[in-house]
Each structure stands twice: as C-alpha cells, then as structure tokens.
C-alpha cells in the first residue's frame, strides 16, 4: 500500500486501512460538521500563531488564510463535500485545505485533534450561550408584556393544586421572570468558563516547538476584560475536561425545567375546568376525531422535550464518569447530547414566547375563581392575630369556622355573628372586611408580595433590565 492510499491522519503506523464497518462505526463527521465554522476559526488562529513564531512564512500564512476563507464560504453556503471516510470535521477541512495549498501540511504543527476539538467546543459554547440568552430574553419579554397587561387581575394561587391564597396574574408570571433571570445568569457563567484557550496543550503535554499560547488565545478572543490572554494551565486537564459540557447541559436542563413548569401551569389554565387563558390558534392543534378540540400541543411538547434534555445530561454524566485521563474515544459521544439540548431548548424558548405573545387571559373566569372567600382564610387568621390571639389558636379557630360554614352550607363570610362568636370571641366588629380582595392586596406591599405597588415596582425593574 502506498503512502497516498493510507489513512491520512495516522496511517503511517498501520499496514492496512480500517475495515469499512469500522469507518462507518467510528465516524463523527455526520454530527461534528456543525463545528466547521469554529474549526476554521481555530485553524486560522493557530496559523497566525505559527506565522508569528516563524513556523510559517508570511506567504504560507496568506495562502492558508485565503484557503480557510474559501472553505468558510463553502461551509456557510452548505456547499462543502463532506466525506465519512475522513472520519471527522477536522480531517475533512484539513484535507480540503491541502487541496488548495501545500502550506496546509504545516498547519498541524504543535497541535493535536485533542486540543483542536477542545478549542472548537469552547468557541461553540460561547456562541451557544449567547443564542440561548437571546431566546431567554425573548420569552422574558413575552411574559413581562402579559404581566404588565394583567398586573392586577386576581387569580387563585395554588399549593398541592388546591386553592390557597389570592395572587394576581402579574405576580404569577413575574415568578417565571425570576427563574428565567437565573437561567440567563447560568449561561453567562458557562460562557465565562468557556473563555479559556486550550490551544497549545497538544495531545496532553504540549509541544517542543516554540509555540506562543498567549498569542493564539488573543487571536481567538480568549481574553479577559482587560484584553489579557486566558489559557488553560494544565494540558492534560485541558483536553480531558468535560466540565463545560456538563455545565452547559445542566443549565439547559434547569432552564427546561422552568419551561416545563410554566407549560404545566398554562395547560391547566387553558383547560375548561380553569378557563383562565386563551391560547392562539397558531400554537394549538385540533383532533382528527373530535371537532370541538383545541389542544395546547405547543406547551405539551415543551413539557415532553424537557425529558429529552434531562436525558442528555444523564447521558453525558454516565459517559464521562469512569474515564481515566486523558482522551478516550468514548468522548466522541459527548457532542450529540450537547447539540441536541441546544437545539431543543432554543425551539422551546421560541415557541413559548411566540404562543404567550398572542395569548390572553379570561378576566371574568379569573375574577370568579379569585372571589372564593376561602382564599382569604389565612387573612382572617392574621386578623385574629392582630386582635391579640396567638397564631396557632387563630389558625385553629379559622379552621373550625371553615368546617362550620361547610356544615351550614354557606360561605365563610355568610356565617352569622352568633356562629362566629361561638367559635371565637375575637370575631367582633368588622371581621368580614377581611374578604375584600382589594384590601387583601393593599395589605401585601412588602417585597415579594402581590400588592399593586410591588408588582409595579418589579415590572419596572425587569423593563429596565431587559432594555439594557
């Protein structure tokens, strides 16, 4: 077998090429081709460093730079001829560059596919985090718009899916803004952790060549706020570490959990039994049998895709947990779950935002549900506390009143004064004023509560933050 017929990456050591089955089994180009842009960026940064230290002539660098720009256009226009036999994105692009200039044979000096893919992925994670942060912002703005529109519309708040206390639509939706704000911060942290350059680590122990790692890091944008290069301190850790994969997938999982809980609320609110929210036709579906149906498929799919995203995190953890340092081929399987989580979460964020932007709340239904006097039973207990009764005794007394009202077949404020005083002597005067919703909200003007002033303040906070 001639040299030209051998496997181009590592064939010098072997007398035969891999079995055809092994070539198919071992390829990764079918999924890691999406790293092509980052691989080309990394190669250009590496080439500029090689030229800087004299391992490439100025002419050779210009030829490589020109070839990389041409390949970039081919990739962007989806006109690149991917070959499975070349195993991965890196060798596909390297061989394509070799066809454009012989100088490409010098490009891999001081570089391994180990630090090459580590660099590609760090560039990928920075962009992926920005993409998801943009998606989170879009959903936050949709929620904020609804929260502002229905800031003071009362609805029941639930614990154990039982009516608990009155809140407002604004208060409820702002709760999701808080959780999404934390998701935004998590992806910012992942992007910050990704902002460290592994290039120059080689396979595990760097290179004897006169590489300038700081120069390469700056060329690729791995810098701190002062423009100083950020490089990995240990070559073995740089190529073996998969913390970023786990951090990113974990952040995706946490964000998807928040979306799933939002979806569950919307699905319940959209049911006939609740009737709180009306979803647009554009984000719902019908039934092939029952013509009256209007199903909240958009949010059901969000809820379902959450399981998929959680599974991707579990996939990564199980794959990585028993691997010795440094690189093992198992790690080829680290990219599909990451790519899938990015794609699925991006879609979920966009669909949730699109659906909510066109949704509206049924004010009549919401007010009717919030008018249940039992929602203010806790307020009555607080009234008794202010009258001088210890809370535990007040709680017991109100519980007895609820039981008595059920026995009498009346609502709580419809109990007679005689019945009320028979349960608790502190129930004198204007205790029924407790059941005024406007009063109930006006007394909840401390931070974190659903009072009108607090809701308005928090809406203003998020408006300013999102605008910035």
Whether the CB-CB separation of 370 and 154 falls below 8 Å is answered with: yes
Q: Phi/psi of residue 272, each to 5°?
A: -60, -35
Q: Using CA atoms, how far apart are residues 450 and 463, in angstroms rounded to an integer?
A: 18
Nearest to 50 by CA among 128, 130, 105: 105
Q: Is 160 annotated as catalytic?
A: yes
- For residue 182, how many C-alpha atoms fall within 13 Å in the half-sphere facing its CB? 14
3-state secondary structure of 388: coil
Nearest of 269, 289, 270, 290 to residue 281 by alpha carbon: 270
Tokens 């000096």 -> residue: 109
Residue whose entry in the numeric block shows the structure tokens 């077998």: 1
Give me the numbers of helices (H) and strands (E) for the chain, helices first please.
18, 4
Pair 186, 255: CB distance under 8 Å: yes
The answer to whether the beta carbons of residues 124 and 134 sit under 8 Å apart is no
Return d(Cα 449, Cα 457) in angstroms, integer.
11
Let me know if 90 is a catalytic residue.
no
Catalytic residue among 2, 15, 160, 288: 160
Say which of 57, 271, 287, 442 is annotated catalytic. 287
Paired residues of 278 in beta bridges: 360
Give me the phi and psi of 110, to 5 degrees please.
75, 15
Active site members: 160, 287
């Amino acid at each position: 077998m001639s040299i030209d017929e051998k496997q181009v990456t590592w064939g010098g050591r072997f007398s035969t090429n891999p079995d055809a089955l092994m070539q198919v089994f071992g390829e990764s180009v079918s999924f890691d081709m999406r790293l092509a842009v980052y691989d080309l960026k990394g190669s250009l940064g590496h080439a500029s460093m090689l030229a800087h230290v004299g391992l490439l002539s100025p002419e050779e660098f210009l030829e490589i730079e020109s070839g990389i720009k041409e390949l970039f256009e081919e990739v962007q226009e989806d006109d690149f001829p991917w070959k499975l036999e070349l195993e991965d994105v890196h060798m596909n692009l390297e061989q394509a560059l070799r066809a454009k200039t012989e100088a490409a044979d010098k490009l891999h000096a001081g570089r391994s596919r180990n630090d090459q893919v580590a660099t590609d992925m760090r560039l990928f994670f920075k962009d992926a985090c920005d993409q998801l942060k943009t998606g989170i912002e879009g959903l936050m703005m949709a929620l904020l718009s609804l929260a502002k529109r229905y800031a003071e519309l009362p609805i029941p708040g639930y614990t154990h899916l039982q009516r608990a206390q009155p809140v407002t639509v604004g208060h409820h939706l702002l709760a999701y803004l808080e959780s999404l704000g934390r998701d935004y911060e998590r992806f910012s942290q992942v992007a910050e952790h990704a902002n460290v350059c592994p290039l120059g680590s080689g396979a595990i122990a760097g290179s004897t060549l006169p590489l300038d790692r700081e120069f390469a890091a700056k060329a690729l944008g791995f810098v701190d706020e002062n423009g100083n290069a950020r490089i990995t301190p240990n070559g073995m850790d740089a190529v073996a570490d998969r913390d970023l994969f786990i951090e990113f997938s974990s952040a995706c999982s946490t964000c998807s959990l928040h979306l799933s809980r939002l979806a569950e609320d919307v699905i319940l609110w959209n049911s006939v039994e609740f009737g709180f929210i009306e979803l647009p036709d554009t984000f719902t579906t019908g039934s092939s049998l029952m013509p009256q149906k209007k199903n909240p498929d958009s949010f059901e799919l969000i809820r379902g895709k959450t399981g998929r995203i959680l599974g991707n995190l579990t996939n990564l953890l199980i794959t990585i947990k028993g691997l010795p340092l440094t690189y093992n081929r198992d790690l080829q399987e680290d990219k599909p779950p990451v790519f899938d989580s990015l794609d699925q979460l991006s879609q979920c964020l966009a669909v949730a935002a699109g659906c909510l932007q066109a949704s509206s709340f049924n004010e009549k239904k919401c007010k009717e549900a919030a008018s249940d006097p039992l929602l203010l039973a806790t307020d009555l207990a607080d009234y008794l506390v202010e009258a001088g009764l210890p809370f535990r005794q007040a709680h017991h007394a109100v519980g007895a009143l609820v039981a008595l009202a059920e026995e009498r077949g009346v609502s709580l404020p419809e109990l007679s004064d005689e019945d009320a005083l028979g349960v608790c002597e502190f129930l004198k005067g204007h205790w029924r004023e407790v059941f005024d919703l406007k009063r109930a909200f006006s007394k909840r003007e401390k931070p974190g509560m659903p009072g009108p002033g607090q809701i308005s303040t928090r809406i203003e906070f998020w408006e300013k933050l999102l605008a910035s």
